[in-house]
Chain A
Amino acid sequence: MLAYVIRRVLYGGGVVLGVLLFLGVLLFLFLLFFWAVEPEDMALRAIGEKAPPEAIAQWIENHGYDRPLAWNPDDQKDTLLYEHFRSMLTFDFGRSDIDDVEIARRLREGVGPSLSLTVPLLLLGVFFGISLSLFVAYFRDTYIDTVGVTLCVFGMSVSIVIYIIGGQYLIGKLLRWFPISGFDPSPEVMLRFLALPITVALAAGVGESVRFYRTVFLEETNREYVRTARAKGCGDGRVMTRHVLRNSLIPILTQVVMAIPFLFTGSLLLESFFGIPGLGSITVEAIHDNDFSTLRVMVFIGSLAFIVGQILTDLSYALVDPRVRLE
């Protein structure tokens, strides 16, 4: 297994493509944040429209935006392009444009709350998604199936915005079970704060995943080996869990592994709406403050996680499907 992973990482095209994409993303971010926007513009937005010219010049110099863009005949290392790639590749992100806080420190503070929201969300989501869809697939072509799928489509069609508002109103305001928004690092208080966002996000996401998993399961149920298993006398429950579930794992795993990178950046909407001080909230604050350097780092981290997730997906196929290893 380990040998396979190493072989795959070294020789597989996935990693080369991943590195190329990674450099492409960096270049795109450079064009977007340095080439497409004037430093004067950034300064105006950061310190106010009516700032005197000296203050603007001072701000640009302080934040290092006065360097040449990509070509400096005197010192090739003293350009924005070099600095951008250096800071991103060494994870030395520098300071925020707005309040001079170190971005790396802010990221470290934000990761904890983000993960404490998204890890339980992912695990519970997979658990409910798989068990509910197994249930629906087990009762295929009965009215339970029809009702289930109808409910799923209904749930998918409603915007998450409605779930959040509805959840806050119903559970937070009318029933008063959990606080509407907020966060606290101590575990037992944190649970109370996290209960509502997790419930809301589960309710919003479960329809789509159940419908997807159900399709995958149904495709497997019609295969020959399922009929063979039935013919040799396997019970329905055993067929569903041992035969169908195991063989459906590849598409399911793809979805789950692709969701892992988003654990890191957290759910932007959920965090900002439920007042959880994670990475998503940092991003939203950066939008409102026009904090370009923080935004740049957040997009970079999100893309990095996404690319790593794709490579992981590639590898994880071998975990569930022995046939992939032999190729």
Chain B
Amino acid sequence: MEGYVLSNCVVAVLLAAGAFVLRRAYQSRLWREAGAAVAQRRPASLGVVLIFVVVALLDAVSWVGPAPEGDTFGVQKPRTLIDRAFPVDWNERSYSAPLARAEFYGGQALAHPRRHLLGTDIIGRDVLHLTLKGARVALLVGGLTTLIVIPLALLFGVSAGFRGGRWDDLVFFLISTLAAMPSLLLLIALIAVLGRGPVQVCVALGVTGWVGLSRLARGETLKLRELDYVRAARALGVSEARILFRHILPNLMHLVIITAVLLFSGLVLSEAVLSWLGIGIDGSWGQMPSSPGSASGSMAPGGR
């Protein structure tokens, strides 16, 4: 199966799951009120709508359409709605300022004068187009890595706090060892070993990222384990697994939610640093300032 068909299927599944969750959430009063509270915060809801709905939807589904006019490459590549919004011959030869009529260096006339809203980069790609495309990579980095980090952190943190003893010592040692290595160096080493690529970058970010949450979860579990209602449950003969899932995990959710939110934005910035060093994900926002000779003409180490 073609790669783009597969990714379309994934998008369809995600959409269906999202719609289902939204419908269920709307049926419960608690979530309806929470939704209303979010909607009242205009900048926040605007951001969510912009990123998730507009960019992710418009940029998620791609298909091979009839050859557009001016397609001189002759190669049929699957393109998303956003790609279709920008003509195929949209690229210029070189850097230009926003809405300029001529190239910045040399002053040759542009093919699309005054049409590039944010200008073009040094090899003539439209900056607005790159910016919109980058949102998908940012969502991937943040989302996939968070999906790696949270189960990993909870698995080790909660089990260590709950079981205690040797296992706790071992997990705590593992956490301390990972924390004793400077995170940027560790990231670099992991990516060097795992290889380059979006999934590898997310795994490396996940391995360095789970430590903090795991430590928090362990501490909180230690505290919860001794609380009266947990003891009462134990005295009533509730099984260990049920105590864990009914009494402890739900009380850790505030930590998980806060960490996930902070982690998400932090990860996008970490990816920018990796792109800067030339080991990031293709097409990310981080790659734009470090791409060959961006506006400042500076010499990014990754831009070779």
Binary contact track A32-51/B, C-beta < 8 Å → 1, others 0: 11001100000000000000
Q: How far is the CB of B97 from chain A (nearest CB, A)?
A: 14
Q: Which of chain A's residues have a CB closer than 8 A to the CB of B295?
A: 165, 169
Q: Which of chain A's residues have a CB closer than 8 A to the CB of B289?
A: 161-162, 165
The B interface, classified by DSSP as helix, strand, loop or mixed, is: helix
Q: Which of B18-26, B137-145, B153-161, B173-181 contacts A (4 or more CB under 8 A)?
A: B173-181
Query: Is B185 a contact partner of A283 (Cβ separation < 8 A)?
Result: yes
A296 to B181, CA, bound (A): 12
Q: Which of chain A's residues have a CB closer than 8 A to the CB of B178?
A: 28
A290 contacts which of B174, B192, B273, B298 (Cβ < 8 Å)?
B192
Q: Which of B28-36, B251-259, B275-283 contacts A (4 or more CB under 8 A)?
A: B275-283
Count of chain B residues with Cβ under 8 Å from any Cβ of A?
A: 37
The A interface, classified by DSSP as helix, strand, loop or mixed, is: helix
Q: Is B42 part of the binding interface, using a Cβ–Cβ cutoff of 8 Å?
A: no
Query: Is B181 a contact partner of A306 (Cβ separation < 8 A)?
Result: yes
A159 to B266, CA, bound (A): 10
Binary contact track A7-33/B, C-beta < 8 Å → 1, others 0: 000000000010011101100110011
Q: Is A287 part of the binding interface, using a Cβ–Cβ cutoff of 8 Å?
A: yes
Q: Which of chain B's residues have a CB closer than 8 A to the CB of A265?
A: 182, 185
Known: A159-B269, A169-B295, A284-B301. A25 touches B278 (CB 8 A): no
Query: Is A302 a contact partner of B176 (Cβ separation < 8 A)?
Result: no
Which residues of A in the span 270-292 have a Cβ within 8 Å of any Cβ on B?
272-273, 275, 283-284, 286-288, 290, 292
Q: How far is the CB of A197 from chain B (nearest CB, A)?
A: 12
Query: Is B193 a contact partner of A36 (Cβ separation < 8 A)?
Result: yes
Q: Which of chain A's residues have a CB closer than 8 A to the CB of B182?
A: 262, 265, 299, 302-303, 306
Q: Which of chain B's residues have a CB closer than 8 A to the CB of A269?
A: 273, 276-277
Quick one: which of A22, A33, A262, A288 has the most chain B CB within 10 A? A288
Across chains A and B, the number of contacting residue pairs, with CB separation under 8 Å, is: 113
Query: Is A268 a contact partner of B277 (Cβ separation < 8 A)?
Result: yes
Binary contact track A137-174/B, C-beta < 8 Å → 1, others 0: 00000000000000000000001111011101100010
Query: Is A287 a contact partner of B277 (Cβ separation < 8 A)?
Result: yes
Q: How far is the CB of A4 from chain B (nearest CB, A)?
A: 25
For chain A, which range describes its interface: under 10, 10 to 19, 20 to 34, or 35 or more residues? 35 or more
A162 to B272, CA, bound (A): 11
A32 to B194, CA, bound (A): 9
Query: Is A284 a contact partner of B277 (Cβ separation < 8 A)?
Result: yes
Binary contact track B266-304/A, C-beta < 8 Å → 1, others 0: 000100110011110000001001100011111111001
Q: Which of chain B's residues have a CB closer than 8 A to the CB of A272?
A: 277, 301
Q: Which of chain B's residues have a CB closer than 8 A to the CB of A299?
A: 181-182, 185-186, 188-189
Q: Which of chain B's residues have a CB closer than 8 A to the CB of A306?
A: 180-182
Contacts from A to B (Cβ < 8 Å): 17, 20-22, 24-25, 28-29, 32-33, 36-37, 159-162, 164-166, 168-169, 173, 180-181, 262, 265, 268-269, 272-273, 275, 283-284, 286-288, 290, 292, 295-296, 298-299, 302-303, 306-307, 310
Given contacts A160-B273, A169-B297, A287-B191, 17 further A-B contacts (CB under 8 A): A25-B181, A28-B177, A28-B178, A161-B272, A165-B289, A165-B294, A165-B298, A169-B295, A181-B299, A268-B277, A269-B277, A292-B193, A295-B188, A295-B189, A303-B181, A303-B182, A307-B180
- 5 residue pairs bridging A and B, Cβ less than 8 Å apart: A24-B176, A165-B295, A272-B301, A287-B278, A290-B192
